[in-house]
Amino acid sequence: MTNRVTVLGSLNVDTTLRLARMPQPGETLLTENKTSAAGGKGANQAVAAARSGAQTRFIGKVGNDEAGRFMVESLTDDQVDTSAIITDETVGTGSAFILLDEAGQNSILVYGGANQQVQAAEVAAVEDEIAQADFLITQFETPQAATLKAFTLAKQHGVTTILNPAPAATIDPAILKVTDLVVPNETESASLTGIPVTDVASMDANAKRFLEMGVKSLIITVGSKGAYYATPAGSGFVPAFKVKAVDTTAAGDTFIGALSSQLKPDLSNIETALTYAQRASSLTVQGLGAMPSIPTYAQVQAASQA
C-alpha cells in the first residue's frame, strides 16, 4: 500500500559555496565553486518521500518571485502536490547559504522569508488535505503556531504526526502532546530534554523524558553511527551504512522523508523502515547539493542489493 505523506514546511533556494576549509572570524576566503538548487528542510523531506514512492502533498509559502516559481516547479517535477502552497506578496521566498568544506562538513545560514509567514488559519483551510494523509511531517523552519494547528487537526483525523525539531528551538509544550514520533539528531534531542546523548543509556533517558512530555515514540539520528529508536513496543539501535561523505546537506531530511514512505502508521515495522531510511541517507551524502542528491526507491533498492 502506498503511504500518503503531507509535509508542512520550508521552501528555500539553496546556494552552496565550496571552500577548502571554514573561514575564521574576520577572514576572507575564495570559494572554489558556487551552485544553486532547490532546498529547504520541508521541500527536501517531501521530495525524499515522493522519490521513495509516497503520495506526497506540501503545505507552505513562497514569495511572488522567480525563486518561488522555481521551488513550486521543482516539487511538481517530483510529483509532489503543490496545490496548498500559497504565494505571499509581502516577502521573498526563503533562501539558504551553505558553506561546504573539503571534508564534506557544512555550515548553513537561512533566510526564512515566506516560510515565516505561514499562518495557523491557512493551515486550517487545508484540513481536508491533512485528513487524507497517513503521516503529517513538519520541522521548525515554519512558525510553531502553524505546526500546532496542523498537528491538532491531524490527531482529530487519526493521522500519525512526525516532528523533526530542527533547527533546534524552544518548543511550545503543546506541540509535543500532539506529536506521535519525534525525530531529532543527538544535539537537538539533548537541547529539548536537557540530557546529553552519549550512549544507549542516555538515549533511553531521552526517550523517557520525551514520554513525560507527551511523545510516545522517538528516533534519534546519530550521524554516521546510525539511529536509535524507542516506541511503546521496544527500543534498539540501527547502525548506519559506512560510506565516504561528500556533502552531508539533506542527509537528515532524506532520512525522514524516506522513513515516512516505508513506515506503517502504527510504527510496527520501524526497524525495517529505519534500515531503508539509513540506506537512502547514505546515498544522499555521496552526492553534491540537497535535492539533487536525494535517491529514488529504485536507487535505494539497488544499493541494498549491491
Catalytic-labelled residue, pool 77, 88, 253, 266: 253
Residue 7 annotated as lining a ligand binding site: no
247 annotated among ligand-binding-site residues: yes
Instruction: Give start and end residues of each alpha helix (H) in the chain.
Output: 41-51, 66-77, 120-124, 127-131, 144-156, 173-177, 186-193, 200-213, 251-262, 270-284, 297-305
| Alpha carbons 47 and 38: distance in angstroms, whole number | 10
Give CA–CA dist 35/38, Å, rounded: 11
Q: Is 177 annotated as a binding residue?
A: no
Is 236 labelled as part of a ligand binding site? no
Residue 68 annotated as lining a ligand binding site: no
4 within 8 A of 53, measured Cβ to Cβ: no
185 annotated to a ligand binding site: yes
Chain centre distance of CA 234: 24
User: Is 115 marked as binding a ligand?
Assistant: no
Residue 12 among known ligand-binding residues = yes
In the residue annotation, 253 being an active-site residue is answered as yes
Distance CA 79, CA 210 (A): 35
Q: Rounded to whole angstroms, how far apart are CA atoms 207 and 277?
A: 20
**Annotated binding residue 41:** yes
Grid cell of 47 as nine digits:
521530495
Catalytic residues: 253
Binding residues for K(+): 247, 249, 284, 287, 289, 293
Binding residues for ATP: 185, 221-226, 252-253
Binding residues for substrate: 12-14, 40-44, 141, 253
